[in-house]
Amino acid sequence: MPSPFPGVDPYLEYGGRWPDMHQRLIAYTSEWLRPQLRPKYVARIEERVELRPKGRKFIADISVKKRSRRLSETQVAYGSLVADEPQTLRGLDEERRVSFIQVVKVASGEVVTLIEVLSPSNKIGQGRKQYIERQDEILDTPVNLVEIDLLSRPTATYARNFELHSPDDWRYLVSISRPQRRTSVEVYAFPLRERLPRPKIPLLPEDGDAVLDLPAVYARCYEVGDYGLLLDYSKPPPVSLSKAEEEWLEALLLEKGLRTAPADA
């Protein structure tokens, strides 16, 4: 079953479905680009480790920092009794592995393009701050940065430094930063009702750009992930919509037979 939506399916944006969708987007984007990149470049799926501080949502793991039963010279004695050296335990931040794509030049091993598919943690709170810090580090290098943000605005990341007014109902964003012109950004901004764009994927200047068929990648993710069996379209999506978006979504799902018209309609 294909997705009922022409572009992004808002039912996949948050909750338990997004981590699976994120992994599929990374894998199938790499797969789609492969024929265009070979033999000069390869797309590699890499991981980085992000630490989530202890706090409200998760309980920190506990690890052994120091373990010793030897008596130290500084131990406090009381009469003939000497205290044994205890273990020292420290709380660990939660470790989370995040996948991304590197386009690498085969001959030199040089990373020429980094492709990020954003997750909710990249857009709010401390996670957003950490992501932007990493982003700033990348922008100080000669690497192209492509960000695919299929999660509802309002918090753009790289494009936060620029004013985006068109279309006025944009919800999703693909942005491209090239090292030759960091003072500008190429964006594909699109609303809920439109299909996903086919963005350029920059390589080295002498080789031109590859093209990512994001609609085809998204459709493959939806099909292979069997989301049509998992999502309940009879309920509202887990994101806030404008009145116009709600009305459009309701009409679309009625047309697709995924909702039933009210009895008094």
According to the model, what pLDDT value does residue 265 have?
Answer: 52
Entry pTM: 0.80
| pLDDT per residue as tens digits for the range 24-60 | 999 999 999 999 999 999 999 998 876 554 443 332 3
C-beta separation of 101 from 47 below 8 A: no
According to the model, what pLDDT value does residue 12 have?
Answer: 96
According to the model, what pLDDT value does residue 154 have?
Answer: 58
Packing angle, helices 18-37 and 214-224, rounded to 10 = 130
Secondary structure of residue 42 in the 3-state scheme:
strand
Question: Which secondary structure element, helix H or strand E, spans residue 245, and what is its range?
Answer: helix 243-255
Between residues 8 and 60, the one the model is more confident about: 8
Query: Could you tell me which residues are beta bridge partners of residue 92?
Result: 61
C-beta separation of 23 from 97 below 8 A: no
| pLDDT per residue as tens digits for the range 123-182 | 777 878 888 888 889 989 999 999 999 998 656 565 556 677 678 889 999 999 999 988
Question: Torsion angle, CA of 68/70/72/75, rounded to 10 degrees?
Answer: 90
Secondary structure of residue 103 in the 3-state scheme:
strand
Residues in the chain: 265
According to the model, what pLDDT value does residue 89 have?
Answer: 54
According to the model, what pLDDT value does residue 61 have?
Answer: 33
User: What is the b/e burial string over 98-116, where b = at least 16 CB atoms within 10 angstroms of the residue's CB?
Assistant: bbebbbbbeeeeebbbbbb
| pLDDT per residue as tens digits for the range 196-251 | 999 999 999 999 999 999 999 999 999 999 999 999 999 999 999 999 999 999 99
**To the nearest 5 percent, what fractions of the chain are helix, strand and coil?**
30, 25, 45
